């Protein structure tokens, strides 16, 4: 037998092993697995962390408030407000005639929020206990709705996004803050509690929101601004 005949079967086998799969030949694309909501930060383990020393210097909440451009008389909501780190700042920004609504699914968080607000002499905060599918906010009332590092924990994001739409005024806006998953700027945060720009837009835009802008001035977080689609 010639050397050519001996080598031929091995050449054919090698060619089959190296050839692209039928899916690759057809140009099909494998979809990434769906995003899994993170575990909700509990009052027992999270309340003190939300009020940790140095948080303002590290996270720069003033950048978020500047982007919102709040004024006296505005009505704002803080979804997943926790202990009110942001709510208290919102309330001062819309005082004396505006209101800041604080929503959370854990009553203990809102109790702590009220205690801290009372110590700071802030009286224009309304608290409301929501559910995993309904923040229980009045319809068509809000100039701004703020969500800081909480959307990724929504166990039922679709009905919550629908309720957020209902709560906004026609020209109302949403400020959404999430830790960056694209780089190591939030290396101190668990991967389940971070989101990419693509992940956020893939869920908010189909839900009826217009992506106005993404502000990348925060040290370790994305800041998205959304409006209602007309």
pLDDT tens digits along 208-229: 999 999 999 999 999 999 999 9
**pLDDT per position as a tens digit, 147-157:** 999 999 999 99
CA distance 163 to 139: 8
pLDDT digits (tens, 9 = 90+) for 23-78: 444 555 555 567 788 787 777 777 888 998 999 999 999 999 999 999 999 999 99
Residues whose CB is less than 8 angstroms from the CB of residue 167 and which lie 6 or more positions away in sequence, other chains included: 77, 135, 137, 138, 139, 140, 141, 142, 145
Q: Where are the domains of the chain?
A: 46-228
Band of pLDDT at residue 19, cut at 50, 70 and 90: very low
- What pLDDT score was predicted for residue 46? 78
- The CATH architecture assigned to 46-228 reads 3-Layer(aba) Sandwich (3.40)
CA distances from 92 to 98, 160, 218 (A): 9, 27, 21
Task: Give the CB-side neighbour count of residue 123, counting CA atoms within 13 A.
Answer: 3
pLDDT at 131: 96
How many other C-beta atoms lie within 10 A of the C-beta of residue 210? 14
E-strand ranges in the chain read 75-79, 99-104, 125-129, 142-148, 168-180, 194-195, 209-215, 221-228
Can you give the pTM of this predicted structure? 0.84
């Amino acid at each position: 037998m010639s050397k050519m005949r001996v080598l031929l079967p091995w050449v054919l086998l090698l060619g089959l092993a190296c050839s692209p799969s039928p899916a690759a030949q057809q140009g099909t694309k494998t979809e990434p697995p769906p995003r899994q909501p993170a575990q909700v930060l509990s009052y027992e383990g999270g309340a003190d962390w939300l009020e940790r020393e140095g948080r303002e210097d590290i996270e720069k909440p003033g950048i978020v408030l500047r982007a919102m451009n709040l004024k006296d008389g505005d009505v704002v909501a803080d979804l997943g407000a926790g202990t009110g780190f942001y709510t208290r700042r919102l309330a001062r920004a819309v005082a004396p005639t505006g209101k800041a609504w604080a929503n959370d699914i854990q009553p203990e968080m809102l109790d702590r929020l009220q205690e801290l607000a009372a110590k700071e002499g802030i009286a224009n905060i309304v608290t409301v206990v929501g559910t995993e599918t309904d923040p229980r906010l009045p319809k068509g009332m809000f100039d701004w709705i703020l969500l800081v590092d909480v959307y990724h924990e929504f166990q039922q994001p679709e009905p919550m996004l629908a309720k957020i739409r209902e709560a906004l005024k026609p020209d109302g806006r949403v400020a959404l803050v999430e830790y960056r998953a694209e780089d190591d700027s939030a290396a101190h945060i668990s991967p389940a509690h971070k989101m990419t720009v693509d992940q956020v837009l893939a869920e908010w835009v189909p839900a009826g929101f217009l992506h106005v802008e993404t502000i990348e001035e925060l040290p370790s977080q994305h800041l998205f601004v959304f409006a209602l689609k007309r």
